[in-house]
Amino acid sequence: MNRLTDGLRWLASDTPATRAQARLGAVYRLLRRLPGQPIGVAGLGLVGLITALALGAPLLPLADPAAQSLGDRLLPPSAAHWLGTDTLGRDMLSRLVFGARPTLAIVALVLLASVPAGVLIGAAAGLWGGWVEAVLMRLADLFMAFPRLILAIAVAATLGIGLWSAVISIALTGWPPYARVARAEVAMVRQAEFIQAARALGVSHLRLWLRHALPLCLPSAVVRAALDAPGIVLITSGLGFLGLGLPPPAPEWGAMVAEGRAIVFEAWWVSSLPGLLILALGLGLNFLGDALRDAVDPGVK
C-alpha cells in the first residue's frame, strides 16, 4: 500500500526530476480528470464492453459464425438462438460478437497509420516552412478536396476486398486533417525562443523536428483521433455494406446490414442488430472523445 501511495505521489509531483516522470505525470493527471466526466465514463464503458467481447470471442461459448444451416434460416430470437439466425441459418449472436473484431482492428490500424503520418507531415511543414510547407500542404489539400467516403470507396475498389485494403483506403484519406492541425500548432511557435535557442546550439533539423516540434502536436492529435474514430467506424461499415470490406463468409457489421435490408420487415433482427452495434460503438467513441477533449483542455467547452 505504501508503495502504491508513493508511486501515485511520484506521478502527481509538480517538480518532476526526469523527463519520463514529467510525461507519466501528465498522463496520470489526464486519467484523474476523466472520472469527473460522466459522458466519458459512459463512452469508455460502451467501448470497453464491445472491445472485451471482441477480444474474448474465441473463448466464449458461441457457435461457429460461419456455420450454415438452411433448415434454421431466419429464426427469430429464442432460447436456441438468443438473437435469431440470418438468411443462411448462421447464429446472429456469434456473428455480431465476431463481427466486432474486424471493425475494431480496422479502426486501430487506421489510427496507427494516419495519426503518426499526419502529425509528422504537419510538424515538418510548420517547422520548416517555405517550399516544404507549400508542397506538403498542397498534397493534403488534394486529398481533402474529395469526400472522404467517396475517396475511400474508390481506393478500396481499386485494391480489392480485404482487411488491409480497407485499412489502406481509409488511412490514405484520414491523415490530412492531422497534418493541417499539426502544421498550425508548430507554425505558431516556429520563431519561439526555445526553437531559436535549439538552432543556435546546433541542434539538427531531424532532432528539432522529432524532439521539439512533434511533442507540441500530440495532445490535440490524441483528442482528434478519439473524435475521428466514429467516422472510421461508419466508413468501415459503409465499405462492408457495399461489398468492399471483408470477403464472405467473414462476419462484418456493414455486410450484415446489407444482407438484411431486403427482409427488414420479415426478419428485423438481421439488419437492425448490427446497425444498433454500429450506433453504440460510434456513440461510445464520440462520448470518449468529448471527455478527452475537455480533460486535455478544460477551458474549451
**Tens digits of residue pLDDT in 209-249:** 888 888 888 888 888 898 899 999 999 999 999 988 888 88
Answer yes or no: is pLDDT of 111 > 90.
yes
Cell of 75: 429464426
Q: What span, in angstroms and rounded, lies between the C-alpha atoms of 292 and 290?
A: 5
Q: What span, in angstroms and rounded, lies between the C-alpha atoms of 220 and 300?
A: 12
Answer yes or no: is pLDDT of 253 > 70.
yes
The distance from CA 14 to its chain's CA centroid, rounded to whole angstroms, is 32
Q: What span, in angstroms and rounded, lies between the C-alpha atoms of 252 and 215?
A: 36
Q: What span, in angstroms and rounded, lies between the C-alpha atoms of 234 and 285?
A: 12
Q: What span, in angstroms and rounded, lies between the C-alpha atoms of 8 and 140?
A: 42
Answer yes or no: is pLDDT of 301 > 50.
no
Average pLDDT estimate for 111-138: 91
Task: Report the chain's terminal Cα–Cα distance, integer Å.
Answer: 38
Residue 252 three-state SS: coil
Q: What's the pLDDT tens digit per position in 4-39?
A: 676 767 677 777 777 676 767 776 776 677 666 788
What lies within 8 Å, CB to CB, of 123 at 6+ separation is 182, 183, 186, 209, 213, 214, 216, 217
For residues 26 and 278, the answer to whether their CB atoms sit within 8 Å is no
Beta partners for residue 85, in sequence order: 91
CB atoms within 10 A of CB 217: 25
Q: What span, in angstroms and rounded, lies between the C-alpha atoms of 44 and 52?
A: 12
Residue 284 three-state SS: helix
Cell of 105: 482492428
AA letter at 23: R
Q: Which of 219, 242, 238, 288 is nearest to 50 (CA)?
A: 288
Q: 123 burial class (0-12, 13-18, 19+ CB within 10 angstroms)?
A: buried
Average pLDDT estimate for 105-117: 94
Q: What span, in angstroms and rounded, lies between the C-alpha atoms of 41 and 268?
A: 31
Q: What's the pLDDT tens digit per position in 36-71?
A: 678 888 888 999 999 999 999 999 999 899 888 888
Q: What span, in angstroms and rounded, lies between the C-alpha atoms of 54 and 102?
A: 9
H or E element at residue 43: helix 38-55
Q: What is the pLDDT of residue 4?
A: 67
Q: If you search the block for the grid coordinates 435469431, which residue do you land on?
A: 84
Band of the pLDDT at 100, cuts 50, 70, 90? very high
CB atoms within 10 A of CB 134: 11
Q: What is the pLDDT of residue 209?
A: 84
